[in-house]
Amino acid sequence: MAAPDTASPRYRASVLHLRVIAPEDLRDDVIGVLRGEAGVANLLLHPGAAIEPEGDEITADIARECANDVIKRLKDLDVQHRGAITLEVLDTVLSTRAHHAEKEADGDPADAVIWDELIGRTREEASLSVTFVLFLTLACLLTAIGVVTDSTVTVVGAMILGPEFGPLAALSVALVQRRANLARRAAAALIVGFPIAMGITALTTMAAEAVGWLSPDSVEHVQEVDFIFRVGPLSFVVALLAGAAGMLSLVSSRSAGLVGVFISVYTVTAAGFAVVAATVGQWDVAAKSALQLVVNLVGIVVAGVLVLMLRPSGRLVRHEMRK
């Protein structure tokens, strides 16, 4: 009988590669955790392979939908402190055993939220760094130019360039997982980053006004970009929808959807417009733009929290389908 074609999609699996560094006295416990999970395949043991910290290297391929349970049980053994736990996304796995392990695991890979992975990713994107502030400042400056030139294309470019979704997503994760440190990190990036970016934009705008590049007419007669400060109930609805789409993109590792999020909400663009309007004395427009900024920030965070709290468990979905 011919051997099965492992290159066929039927034998391809969506799995993660797990590597555990553990002291020798935890070897049996770690292996017991991995053997006790249906979604684990290709279990390997390298006794004494680890030098610092000293111990064994244990690797396995695990179905994405069972990763949270495996990591939790390994953490209960204190492996993360006495050794290390690492996960790696595998683009292609040609393995009948891995395919069967994924099939046996309760849940669906597309619905699996790996909390440690999500927390680590959002923590990195929520850092208050020079790079974050520079991107935020450049986005505000592009918005200012877009307002002066009444250019939708320039404003859309500013939307895409703005890095503010990272801290907003991190704040949503922090609220759901009750991670105070992550919440403070995300809040610091927003509370410090926006004033710096808006301050630099204000100075640049005043300089442009001084040399005659900018006047009150630049704000009064805009037609193509006036949508930025036209705030209303739909503004919050759009922010909710965009925030939900952004969080789904993060948890499912489908980053292509984030571009649509960036050009759907008015966060950094509202901040930039508020600065320009205030500089030329258009306080009504500045206030509306500031309100637009607040509405979008709140909407995105609320949507992110709702997605994480209400998103159905892939394990439950597959379990019900098997009944």
pLDDT score, position 109: 59
C-alpha angle 21/24/28, rounded to 5°? 90
Instruction: Read off the DSSP letter of residue 4.
Output: P
Are 189 and 320 in contact by the 8 Å Cβ rule? The answer is no
Are 150 and 225 in contact by the 8 Å Cβ rule? The answer is yes
Residues of the chain with pLDDT under 50: 1-13, 314-323
DSSP string over 222-269: --SSGGGT---HHHHHHHHHHHHHHHHHHHTT-THHHHHHHTT--SHH
The model's pTM: 0.76
pLDDT score, position 173: 92
Two tokens, residue 298: 């709140």
Spacing of C-alpha 201 from chain mean position: 27
Are 42 and 34 in contact by the 8 Å Cβ rule? The answer is no
pLDDT score, position 255: 56
- The dihedral sign for the CA sequence 177, 179, 182, 186: positive
Burial class (CB within 10 angstroms; exposed 0-12, middle 13-18, buried 19+) of 281: exposed
Rounded Cα gap, residues 65 and 73, in angstroms = 15
Query: What separation in angstroms does the CA of 225 have from each of 15, 67, 199, 202, 300?
Result: 45, 46, 22, 19, 21
Amino acid at 69: D
pLDDT score, position 60: 92
- Secondary element (H or E) of residue 47: strand 40-50
Per residue in 111-131, pLDDT (tens digit) is: 667 778 788 878 888 888 999
Q: How many CA within 13 A on the CB side of residue 268?
A: 37
- The answer for residues whose C-beta is within 8 angstroms of residue 77's C-beta and 6 or more apart is 22, 26, 29, 30, 33
pLDDT score, position 246: 86
pLDDT score, position 4: 45
Per residue in 249-296, pLDDT (tens digit) is: 888 756 555 666 666 678 899 999 999 889 888 899 899 999 999 999
